[in-house]
């Protein structure tokens, strides 16, 4: 069993980059003695045709209309190697890209406020929009496909480059090209320094006039469980009879935080397993003391991603509150972010998450106990969650 309270590694399960910061991944130690095209042996005993690569390299250099530096060619070769699994979450980083990927998510960011992830079609998708951020105010929405930044196109394999292009000094403008419903459009966004709260608390009235707390979890950073505990304690002060935890529009983040929050709701319990390609499994469990006896429900939908899905899975697997809404995104893979001794690095998918029953999360998602779809301007999902949480 993995004891997160004593863990020395930060485990993040969302392969998502927040424009203005970064999230995602399991961090590893530097790899030593790993030659990746340039600085390594000239032949490969595993069957890689090095001579063929050399011929293609010469062909490109001799026939391309403009000069290509050796550095650019070697970088391209390294990128191609990590494209072999056809996995949008596995990729090579230059030193500059790796440094950007390692930026720690914190309370204030300078950028546009989008969480981006490559989708299964290899296109960059908007999976989160920070409330009150420049991109959100401009009209960019979850589900939009990011096609270009300042007129330059980017694919899912170029996520790091797209993120870097969207970042910039506060007060400067950037043009974001997106596709929505088959139609393309551009948004001119002024970069800014904006706050990124991870937990917000509100309250609504049920049909009996009772106060029902609503705790909105925006993302999972290193302060989220602490802020969640504070919100739970505040429910007592406002006389709430029940509460709803809303993890919609949540791009994920630190899995450890999701497990700590689970523990506050139901105590100890197995949440999921991480499964490697050889079938070996590692157990991940919530632990700690349950801190509230109030009834509750959890709101989910297709914008609940990664750590948000694991949080919901924990509640469902351990007989906690009901899940209300729609099936989650279905991002259940673990990536490791690792720096090579030359300063560059890679992100590579190493395991997948499965439920306590052994069912995969990736590509499937977590289904609600009560399915509700929002139509029109009314938040029918929240209304149903309030009703379910209020039941005697």
Which pLDDT belongs to residue 45?
A: 59
Which pLDDT belongs to residue 355?
A: 97
What are the DSSP calls for 116-172, one per residue?
A: EEE-TTS-EEEEEE-TTSHHHHHT--TTPEEEEETTEE--GGGHHHHHHHH---TT-
CA pair distance 102, 22, nearest whole angstrom = 7
* Residues 6+ positions from 210 with CB-CB distance below 8 Å: 241, 242, 390
CA pair distance 355, 376, nearest whole angstrom = 34
What distance lies between CA 216 and its chain's CA centroid? 17
CA pair distance 78, 91, nearest whole angstrom = 9
Which pLDDT belongs to residue 168?
A: 84
- 199-390 in CATH: which number? 3.90.226.10
Closest CA to 138 of 25, 19, 270: 19
List beta partners, residue 189.
Answer: 174
Which pLDDT belongs to residue 84?
A: 93
Q: What is the pLDDT along the chain (392 residues), one digit of tens a residue?
A: 433 333 323 343 433 444 443 333 444 444 434 444 444 444 455 678 889 999 999 999 999 999 999 999 999 999 999 999 998 889 999 998 887 766 533 334 457 888 888 888 889 999 878 777 899 999 999 899 999 999 999 998 888 788 888 988 889 999 999 999 999 999 999 998 866 678 999 999 999 999 999 999 998 988 899 999 999 999 988 899 999 999 998 988 888 999 999 999 999 999 999 999 998 999 999 988 899 999 999 999 999 999 999 999 999 999 999 999 999 999 999 888 899 999 999 989 999 999 999 999 999 999 999 999 998 788 999 999 999 999 97
**309 contacts 284 by C-beta, under 8 angstroms:** no
* Strand duo 108-111 + 173-180: pairing: unpaired
Domain ranges of the chain: 108-195, 199-390
First to last CA, the chain: 36
Exposure class string for 39-54: b at 16+ Cβ within 10 A, else e:
eeeeeeeeeeeeeeee
CATH class of the 108-195 domain in this structure: mainly beta
Question: What does each C-alpha distance from 146 to 98, 184, 253, 272 come to in angstroms?
Answer: 21, 10, 21, 32
Q: Which two tokens stand for residue 142?
A: 């979850």
Which pLDDT belongs to residue 132?
A: 79
């Amino acid at each position: 069993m993995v004891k997160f309270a004593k863990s020395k590694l930060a485990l993040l399960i969302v392969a998502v980059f927040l424009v203005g910061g970064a999230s995602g991944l399991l961090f590893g130690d530097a790899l030593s003695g790993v030659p990746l095209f340039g600085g390594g042996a000239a032949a490969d005993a595993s069957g890689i045709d090095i001579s063929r690569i050399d011929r293609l390299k010469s062909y490109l250099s001799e026939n391309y209309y403009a000069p290509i530096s050796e550095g650019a060619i070697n970088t391209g070769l390294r990128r191609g190697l990590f494209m072999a699994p056809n996995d949008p979450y596995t990729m090579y980083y230059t030193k500059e890209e790796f440094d950007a990927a390692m930026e720690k998510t914190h309370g204030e960011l300078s950028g546009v406020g989008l969480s981006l992830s490559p989708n299964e079609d290899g296109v960059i998708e908007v999976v989160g929009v920070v409330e009150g951020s420049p991109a959100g105010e401009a009209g960019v929405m979850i589900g939009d496909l990011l096609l270009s930044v300042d007129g330059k196109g980017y694919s899912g394999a170029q996520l790091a480059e797209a993120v870097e292009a969207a970042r910039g000094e506060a007060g400067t403008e950037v043009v974001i090209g997106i596709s929505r419903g088959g139609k393309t459009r551009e948004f001119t966004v002024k970069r800014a320094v904006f706050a990124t709260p991870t937990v917000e608390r509100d309250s609504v009235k049920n049909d009996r006039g009772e106060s029902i707390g609503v705790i909105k979890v925006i993302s999972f950073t290193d302060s989220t469980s602490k802020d969640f505990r504070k919100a739970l304690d505040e429910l007592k002060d406002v006389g709430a009879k029940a509460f709803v935890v809303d993890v919609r529009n949540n791009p994920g983040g630190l899995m450890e935080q999701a497990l700590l929050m689970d523990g506050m709701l139901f105590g100890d319990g197995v949440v999921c397993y991480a499964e490697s390609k050889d079938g070996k499994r590692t157990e991940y469990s919530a632990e700690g003391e349950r801190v509230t006896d109030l009834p509750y429900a959890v709101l989910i939908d297709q914008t609940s991603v990664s750590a948000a899905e694991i949080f919901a899975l924990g509640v469902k697997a351990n007989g906690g509150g009901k899940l209300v809404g729609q099936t989650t995104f279905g991002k259940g893979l673990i990536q490791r972010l690792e720096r090579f001794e030359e300063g560059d690095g890679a992100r590579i998918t190493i395991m997948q998450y499965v439920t306590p029953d052994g069912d995969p999360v990736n590509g499937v998602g977590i289904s609600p106990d009560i399915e509700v779809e929002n139509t029109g301007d009314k938040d029918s999902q929240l209304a149903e969650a309030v009703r379910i949480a209020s039941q005697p």
